[in-house]
Amino acid sequence: MKLNFDRRQVLVLGAGCALTGLVGVDFASAQGKNDINEVIGKFTGGKAPTMGRVKLDVPEIAENGNTVPMTVSVESPMTAQNYVQEVLIVADGNPRSGVATFHFGPSTGIAEANTRIRLASTQNVTAIAKMNDGSFFSTTKEVKVTIGGCGG
């Protein structure tokens, strides 16, 4: 059996799929619900990170939220016995809190990454490091954004 649809029928069908969520539309995200607690909880397995060992270098004032420079580093010897596995970057004011995840291993030599991130408005940026022994360390910095980057 061959199905024939004209352009109008395809558009109506597509709109119906979008409304029912069949194409992956995240209405909670569209409404601005931030999922930071879920993202951190999933990353840490519910463990509370200890403050320290993580350095987050972001500007205090970002003139443009579309491109905010960021460097994260973790104090670690990066040996086979003691190293950073992952670093999660989250922002509490973006529609989706997860900004970036960096993966490391003992052979990387230094646990440091730099990139540019996008921030919707003035908010806290948090970096959480997962160590190979299952411990977590974190730090948080506030970034004041003068021109929004995520639709702001």
Q: Could you report the per-residue pLDDT of 7-16, keeping only the tens digit for each?
A: 665 556 565 5
Q: Token digits for 40?
A: 């951190």
Distances (CA, A) of 138 to 1, 20, 68, 125: 59, 39, 20, 11
Residue at 5 is within a domain: no
In a domain? residue 87 = yes
The vertex-132 CA angle with 78 and 58, nearest 5°, equals 65
Q: So what's the pLDDT on residue 11?
A: 58
Domain that holds residue 55: 34-145
State the Cα–Cα distance between residues 70 and 134, nearest whole angstrom. Answer: 25
Q: Indicate whether 12 belongs to any domain.
A: no
Number of independent structural domains in the chain: 1
Instruction: Check: pTM over 0.95? Answer yes or no.
Output: no
Domain CATH code at residue 128: 2.60.40.2470
**Element of type H or E holding 145:** strand 136-145
Strand partners, 111: 74
Assigned domain for 99 exists: yes
Alpha helices, DSSP H, located in 5-92: 7-20, 27-30, 36-44
**Structural domain includes residue 47:** yes
CA angle (31, 127, 94) in 5-degree steps: 15
Q: Is residue 105 part of a domain?
A: yes
Tell whether 83 is covered by a domain: yes
Within-domain flag for 7: no
What percent of the chain stands above pLDDT 90? Answer: 73
pLDDT digits (tens, 9 = 90+) for 81-99: 999 999 999 999 999 999 9
